[in-house]
Chains A and B, each alone.
Chain A
């Protein structure tokens, strides 16, 4: 039972991060019908921004801010930095190709992905960067928390899960309860009709990139608080986020959340009960399975065309 609880906790932590990444994929795909393969690298850049800000603020061993303001500052900085990066990517890599055949922005996305990964490698080196979060406040984030049976739920896990869910709820409210959200929804249904109704399509697309990239930045920091980051990490993280988005139904916000959590649980239970070797393989088996048997995902709508 303890193992099950621990693995569930592992899955929930990992799944929360995947869900944040998947939301970015879904937002952009929903509006532009573009698979933004650079999204995983935006996640990586976010983790690096968080690392840089943490070092500027004295590092984990001697920070100039108390624990909670410090965590907020590094997370918000990463979100802001990634939001700007998202706007730049949209403006220079995707907007000029908006009316080009669909393969063109896809290739451009792959190019941006490699550009970001290798630029970071050239600028900062390929080595792993460790936030050393264990040193923050004498290990408080790892050693304090509460117990479920014999399983400790550390404070850091609670922070990651709560922060991720808060961000998802904020996004959900933004998409469903605001004029901008309604404009995004309208654009995702029919871009041309939305434009004719007076919606500023360019602005809506930029907002989607800002939101998606900011969430990726937050995911980067939340992930890197527990595990080292490095320039090449974005590729696999991006693929997992993409898989989560496909599971949930790409374009669907609740689907992305559910897909991320399902993927996190699948990975954790596979590692815990079947084999540690097969977890990455399983992710892609799930992806292929959904593409073949339920391409619209769990929450997506089948793409039915009137003939």
Chain B
């Protein structure tokens, strides 16, 4: 009997010890941050969709982020930095950002994150990144509730260099009323947070301004919009179409013409893709301007174009340059304060909010608001699609 008890006790001790060591390992993997030397190669990780329906966004962002690292890391900040990219195709859902984030969290040489690129990705990964002390700076996540409101979807470790939809929706709505003189607007949402949030924000302003609105809603899997188009009143002036799939905007516009509807198509930043959405006379908004008109950015454009001769300048990429610039600046400050080493990833985070970039690639001076982790005085820009399919900045 005694022998049995002894064996049982030994086994119990072994199990408890094993569980304790497992728990310890888990905690270390997610929370603890080892000191890293700034003289060694540091990593900045980018979380963005490089493939899939949103791949055109991520590919453009990666080219600018790479260019920023090449242009600034060594020369301006004296850092040895490598950019690593984690792909989060939008079709895999927002949870993919968390999967990719976990991989970067486990790599102690990763000291800052650029992204996640999508708002859903931020909402999914922010808690884990915050637990690891990693600042994550998005060049494109615009959902309002990431930084504002009573139920925040992101942590204080999240920053963005572009404005939120609380600016995009009203900007688009004001343009429809003030410039397009719209009296009747149809708003279509896709029953997902980006689309519903943006449509809500625009609809509130339109209603306040006395515009007659009709709200239509469909599943994100819909690609044939015939019956939705049938419900668009013949005298509607504008159809606001906040999709994340630019080809959907093209299809909706084509099917409107097929049914003889004359309303002007107006897409949000998700529809902003000259290769996919190209109906002349339509509009799209975006969080970044066409930087080719900014004198201080011309040298940067030339440098980027030299590295990417086959690519056209778009508006999704330049904010990534700015996001990397903010991250490198914060890393440099953390290294200086830590006398050549980053003792904790939180040291980088603590410096992000203090960064000021002048001149910013997006024009003017960039700095964060004191009230939130959003940029101060940022705005959305509106483009009109020309007859040759190019996008012209109109506001």
Contacts and interface: CB of A to CB of B under 8 A. Distances in A.
- A and B, one complex? yes
Given A14-B226, A276-B216, A277-B191, A126 B51 contact: yes
Interface in B230-257: 230-231, 245, 247-248, 250-251, 254-255, 257
A185 interface: no
Contacts of B224: 14, 223, 226-227
Contacts of A151: 259
A267 B227 contact: yes
A90 to B, nearest CB: 28
B8 to A, nearest CB: 43
B227 A130 contact: no
Interface in A201-255: 223, 226-230, 232-233, 236
B119 to A, nearest CB: 19
Which range holds the interface residue count of chain A? 35 or more
Contacts of B340: none
Interface in A145-187: 151-152, 154, 156
Which range holds the interface residue count of chain B? 20 to 34
- Tell which of A10, A151, A279, A280 has the most Cβ of chain B within 10 Å: A10
A143 interface: yes
Nearest to B258: A142
Interface string B68-106: 000000000000000000000111000000000000000
A119 interface: no
A272 B227 contact: yes
A276 B218 contact: yes
A227 B251 contact: yes
Contacts of B276: 128, 130
A268 B230 CA distance: 10
Contacts of B259: 6, 151-152
A121 B91 contact: yes
Given A125-B52, A128-B248, A130-B250, A268 B91 contact: no
A271 B251 contact: no
B55 interface: yes
Given A126-B89, A154-B258, A276 B228 contact: yes
A154 B261 CA distance: 14
B55 A7 contact: no
B228 A227 contact: no
B254 to A, nearest CB: 5
A13 B226 contact: yes
A38 to B, nearest CB: 19
B258 A7 contact: no
A157 to B, nearest CB: 8
B260 interface: yes
Contacts of A128: 53, 223, 245, 247-248, 276
Given A127-B53, A227-B225, 11 more contacts: A125-B55, A126-B53, A126-B55, A128-B53, A128-B223, A129-B247, A142-B254, A154-B258, A226-B224, A271-B230, A276-B227
16 contacts: A3-B230, A121-B52, A125-B52, A126-B53, A126-B89, A127-B51, A128-B248, A134-B257, A143-B258, A223-B224, A227-B225, A268-B226, A271-B218, A271-B230, A271-B231, A276-B217
Task: Give 7 nearest A-B pairs by CB, closest first.
Answer: A271-B227, A126-B52, A128-B247, A227-B223, A227-B224, A10-B226, A228-B247
